Amino acid sequence: MQELINQLVAKLGVQAGQAQGGAGLIFKLAQDKLGGDFSKIAAAVPGVKELIAAAPQAGGAAKMVGGLLGAIGGGKAQGLADLAGLAGGFAKLKLDGGMVAKFIPIVLEFVKGQGGQEISALLAKVLQK
């Protein structure tokens, strides 16, 4: 997992703790959305559960906005709600919400390298709305 953290630090100029927390938030969202299917990602990407444990809890306004968007309508609204939740967590890491879009392709590419196209596609299904 240190390889992913190093990539995020090098490519995005974030601190190691921010990289760890941001990646953890992304994997936490996937865990919440995929349920039992998340075990495939966890098996392919050693250390993912430690990243999730290190992620800050999204809360406050971002969680409320996410809940409202999710309640308004399925599909795209739920995708926006998920991204709002991620942005709230990133704010707790002192990262701009726009960094979510920069983290996702790096995380997806890393997961693809670890688990192949099928595992990467499973994660992408949750992250690309």
Q: Domain-by-domain residue ranges, the chain?
A: 2-127
Q: Give me the pLDDT at residue 39, please.
A: 96
Q: Give me the pLDDT at residue 37, please.
A: 94
pTM of the model as a whole = 0.83
Per-residue pLDDT of the chain in tens (129 residues, 90 and over written 9): 999 999 999 999 999 999 999 999 999 999 999 999 999 999 999 999 999 998 998 654 444 444 443 444 455 555 667 777 888 899 999 999 899 999 999 999 999 999 999 999 999 999 875
Q: Give me the pLDDT at residue 106, please.
A: 97
Cβ neighbours of residue 95 closer than 8 Å, sequence gap 6 or more: 14, 18, 22
